[in-house]
Every structure is written in structure tokens, then in C-alpha cells.
Amino acid sequence: MFRDIPQSVEVTQGHLKALEAWRKAQGMERKRLLRQIPPETGKLLAILLANCPPGDAAEVGTGAGYSALWLALACRATKRRLTTFELDPAKAELARQSLASADVLDVVELREEDALAGLKSLSGLSFCFIDAERDMARAAFELALAALPTGGVIAVDNAISHAQEFADFLDDAEHDPRVDALIVPIGSGLLVCRKV
């Protein structure tokens, strides 16, 4: 997956990183920032997805599409599809442009709708990445977990950087008998749960 990343994906990722740096330098308010995952988190997500049981992937919180580009690599390598959800119209438009520029629309579907309603409509999932507002994390986790087969994976971003904001959810997930769970100290922290 990583030895032959298409140039269109690498260039688009570079543009998104530069845009995020520019927005931070301009002092944009927090909700206008793209808050993209670092490359090492993207690679871990791609590896996790590639090793899931058969099934497609979902992403809650597309942002500008950076993480979707990493997941698209795994989708192509394993013949899966990614459905990604973004409610913010400005971010959805930026993601639409990013996904088109990276030429990954053959494996990625962007839905500009509520992710919780969208997750209910999906079937055949084996992976879900949750990178959305903290108040959605638990509900998205429960919907994704109900849809996953044994061995399916849920990953939740910001498990270390936002640990206080959703400490109860993280504690519950780590002790949930339905999953094997671990917080990986990569990027902003990634809660990784495998359905048992």
C-alpha cells in the first residue's frame, strides 16, 4: 500500500497539509481548522482496515478528506469501499475536491449527511473510523459495533488529546466485553477496538 502511493494521492495530501498550516498561521478559529491526522495515524488506519475481515469501511467526520485518502489506499489494495460522512458544507466541498484530485472516487463515497443516520443505512461493514465531535463518539461507536462482524475494527481519534472530554466513553470502551480495546499513543491518540 505504501510502496507505490499514487502521485495524485501524495500531491493532494501535501496540499491539505499546507492548507492546514496556513489556516493555523492565520489564527483561524478552532472550528474552521481542518485538524487532520498525522501520516503515521493514516498509515496505521490503512493497515488496520487492510487486515479486517471482508467488508467495507465507514468514516465519521471526513473533514478535508486527508484520512479518507489513507483509507482509500487500503480499499484499493483489498477491493473494499469507503463511505465517509461530513455535515459541514465547506469541509464537504473541500473533501469533494480533494478526493477528486486524488482520483479515489472509485473507492470512496462522500455523503454530506448526518453520520449517525448514515451508519444506520450501511450494511456489510468491517471497519469504522470515528473522527468527529466528541458528543457523537459513543453513539457512532454503538452503531458501528452493531454492524461489524467478529474481528471488525473501530478506531476513534483524539483518545489522548481529548481524553478528558470523553473519559467515560474511553473507559467504557476499554472495559467493554464486546471488544478488545487499546489506546495507541500515535498522533492525538487512537482508540482501537476489535469486535470479539
In total, how many domains does the chain have?
A: 1
Burial of residue 14, with CB atoms counted within 10 A of its CB: 0-12 exposed, 13-18 middle, 19 or more buried: exposed
The CATH number linked to 57 is: 3.40.50.150
List the domain range (segments joined by +) for residue 166.
7-195
Residue 109 maps to a domain: yes
| Predicted confidence (pLDDT) per residue in 84-111, tens digit | 999 999 999 999 999 999 999 999 999 9
pLDDT value of residue 42: 97
Gap between the Cα atoms of 115 and 196, Å rounded: 24
* Backbone Cα Rg of the chain: 15
Residue 2 maps to a domain: no
pLDDT-flagged residues of the chain (< 50): none
Gap between the Cα atoms of 166 and 159, Å rounded: 8
Residue 1 maps to a domain: no
pLDDT value of residue 35: 67
pTM of the complete model: 0.92
Residue 156 maps to a domain: yes
HSE of 103 in the Cβ direction (CA atoms, 13 Å)?
Answer: 7
Residue 50 maps to a domain: yes
Residue 168 maps to a domain: yes
